[in-house]
Chains A and B, each alone.
Chain A
Amino acid sequence: MTNMNYAQHEHHDFLNASAEALADPTLQKALVRLTDTLMAGNRKGYAALADSSDLRDHAKRIKEHTLAHLDEYLVQLEMSVHKLGGKVHWAATAEEARKIVVAIAQAAKCRHAVKSKSMTSEEIHLNPALEKAGVEVTETDFGEYIIQVAGERPSHLVAPAVHHTRESVARVLSQHLGETLSDDPKALAMVGRRVLREKFRRADLGITGANFAVAETGTIVLVTNEGNGRLTTTVPRVHVAIMGIEKVIPRFNDLPVFLKLLARAATGQTLSVYTTIITGPRQPGEVDGPEEFHLVLLDNGRSKVLATPFRESLQCIRCGACLNACPVYRRIGGHAYGGVYSGPIGSILTPLFDSVAENPHLPHVSSLCGACQAACPVKINIPHMLIGLRELQHAHKPSRLERWAYQLWSMVLCRPRLYHWAIWAARVILGRRAKAGWIDQMPGPGAEWTKIRDFPAPAAMPFRERWKELS
């Protein structure tokens, strides 16, 4: 593994992992249910806005502008947070970020941390570092709690435990708590409430991500449906928010532009149940809320991406819509991608943050159908960037076999009679193997292709001959 810090937990075998996912009927059912429901929400959500397309364009332009002045907005954000009595920390790498959070916990003598769902903290592998320093960490999003107890990774941006069933959740929690629990979702959620309430009551450190941060006011925003984000920023005496630098936006009244889109794109809700808009620590006279507020600004590869034509990927607001829309994600689920970020956006972020060479399959895990871009609240041109990554891959490591193949191809293309003959031969050889327009077993080196996907059968009449008839 090239970079222990990065989005990838292990450079795992994509082909095997996806084959496993495809062979798991329970997962297949869960994925269809989840993605169908959320995609219906996405369409309904946009349709409910009178001018959703214009609003999405506007949101995109705000992000474009911000990224083109990112250094200035980060300095402004820092100033605003300082004015409020908060503290800003700069973390160039995941390792620096871990050290910063551990140091904050130690300085404030915190022993019990509660976490609200945060992809950024997943990305930096924060939990093991805190635990090593003697700080107990509890994930408090119910889905994240389930997978923490099960020792797994999230498999969807907004539904981290989608790969679980009621039976498996009951089994995991029963074993962990030493009780026999029923597999009724409501009853299980109430067990979650009871157990996690005790964790909150004892907690002295609250760790969150940030969906957005506002440069002009020093505000950070958390969006949750369960309310664990609120609890995490209400009960503990210290609050640490960790955010990727791309999350900053310029003005306080830019927030509603994104808030109107985020929940609609993710689930179709007008807003998520709780939008928590935090501007500094507790003020004099208030009886709850954290006394200390820390904001950790994380680079961890983002500036590298900022300098390239892949900058657009930093506009992502992590709504999960592209996952739900993607015909590939809908079949293989999140774990197959191997990274913290999965789905179409993960296929871009993981190679960029981690390594293009070490993630050879991800840029190809797409039919380039464009459904991701159509669902995306900031209209990120994901297909375009996937093609860009394929080009990069090619520049990095043109395989000799591939080079020969293309040389041969171009030689044939330059000789019309040879081309004609080759097409005829292919039609004769392949035509015999076709079933209903597809070939599922090719001869020779072509077998590698048909091992994982069918090959379209040659047309009964080549275009060149049809053309003669047509003209």
Chain B
Amino acid sequence: MSSREAFLTRVKQAVADGNRAGAVPSLPERAGVGYQGAGSDPVQRFIAELANAGGKGYVVSDVDAVMQTIQSIVQAHNARRILLSRGGLIDQFALPHKLKDAGFDVQTLDDMQANPQEDFFHADIGITNVHRLIAETGTVVMASQPNEPRSVSLLPPVHICLAERSQILPDLFNLFDLFSPTATPDRSLPPSCLTLITGPSKTGDIELKLVTGVHGPGELHVIVCG
């Protein structure tokens, strides 16, 4: 018997030995249990929860305001190298051009050569789109794909992301239903990496003192447009 078969035989036997007759529970349906929702104003709820987690939210109405917000964050950090992911609002607002014109050292995925990792490690600020926002928890959802590498929202010390109002989901359950074979039979597979970001990187390992930015970005800025 292969080790896999022996393994499974053992587990199967243990399952049978431990199952009490008549007490094997069926897979429970959740119905509405645990759904919190976002109340009447999901944008405000998102911004408030994000602030609780230590992030900063901005609600802006046009592209000029987006640029202003980004510029003030960049200047506050004296940042030089800005790393941008591709597509979505970033392209729609022509952010790479605008930031270049404003005199910043801009690195897009198109500029990258054979070894993008070095560029990722050296950036001061990463700007991304988002997959979704979750109002209940103040969470930014990133889905990995060719236009949205995992590193842009991870390696630079500051992460700025752009979202549309319509990307806000009320509750964590809504996100998982999007990829769930059970809830949505014609859904897409989950991406290779779906990341839920709730605030800046945190550690309390020394005397419980909260320190941000030990591994991931120490600052998280979310600009909600529209």
Contacts and interface: CB of A to CB of B under 8 A. Distances in A.
A271 B198 CA distance: 7
Q: Which 5 residue pairs are nearest across A and B when measured between Cβ atoms?
A: A227-B216, A143-B205, A285-B146, A227-B215, A275-B196
A9 interface: no
A274 to B, nearest CB: 6
Nearest to B143: A277
Given A62-B28, A256-B176, A30 B121 contact: no
Interface residues of A, number: 97
A253 B216 contact: no
14 contacts: A65-B26, A189-B203, A231-B216, A235-B151, A256-B172, A256-B173, A270-B138, A271-B196, A271-B198, A275-B198, A288-B151, A306-B18, A308-B18, A309-B18
Nearest to B152: A288
Contacts, number: 277
Contacts of A339: none
A34 B181 CA distance: 41
Contacts of A33: 207-208
Interface stretch (B8-16, B57-65, B71-79, B93-101): B8-16
A51 B33 contact: yes
B98 to A, nearest CB: 24
B198 A272 contact: yes
Interface of B: 3-4, 6-8, 10-15, 17-19, 24-28, 30, 33-34, 36, 49, 52-53, 109, 112, 116-117, 120-121, 136-139, 144-146, 149-151, 154-155, 172-173, 175-177, 179-183, 189-209, 211, 213-217
A195 to B, nearest CB: 11
Interface in A409-468: none
Interface in A375-417: none
A188 interface: yes
Contact of B8 (A71, A285, A287, A309): A71
A203 B3 CA distance: 31
B205 A260 contact: no
B176 A252 contact: yes
A51 B35 CA distance: 9
Interface centre among B6, B173, B183 (most CB of A within 10 A): B173
B189 A217 contact: yes
B211 A185 contact: yes
A74 B28 contact: no
B190 A273 contact: no
Nearest to A193: B214
Interface stretch (A159-167, A326-334, A355-363, A364-372): A159-167
Contacts of A260: 34, 172
Contact of B200 (A70, A201, A273, A303): A273
Nearest to B49: A270
B134 to A, nearest CB: 9
A96 interface: yes
Nearest to B2: A90
A70 B28 CA distance: 16
Contacts of A11: none
A315 interface: no
A206 B63 CA distance: 40
A42 to B, nearest CB: 15
Contacts of A108: none
A234 B151 contact: yes
B172 A185 contact: no
Contacts of A228: 215
Nearest to A50: B36
Contact of B195 (A54, A143, A230): A230
Contacts of B30: 58, 257
A288 B196 contact: no
Contacts of A92: 3, 6-7, 10
Interface string A40-66: 000000000111001100100110110
Interface string A1-41: 00000000000000000000000000000100110010000
A278 B175 contact: no
A185 B6 CA distance: 49
Contacts of A230: 150, 154, 195, 215-216
Nearest to B213: A193
Interface string A130-172: 0000000000111100100000000000011100111001000
A139 to B, nearest CB: 12
A250 to B, nearest CB: 6
B7 A90 contact: yes
A299 interface: yes
Given A146-B205, A235-B117, A289-B144, 10 more contacts: A33-B208, A70-B15, A188-B206, A189-B205, A217-B190, A226-B216, A230-B215, A253-B183, A273-B198, A274-B196
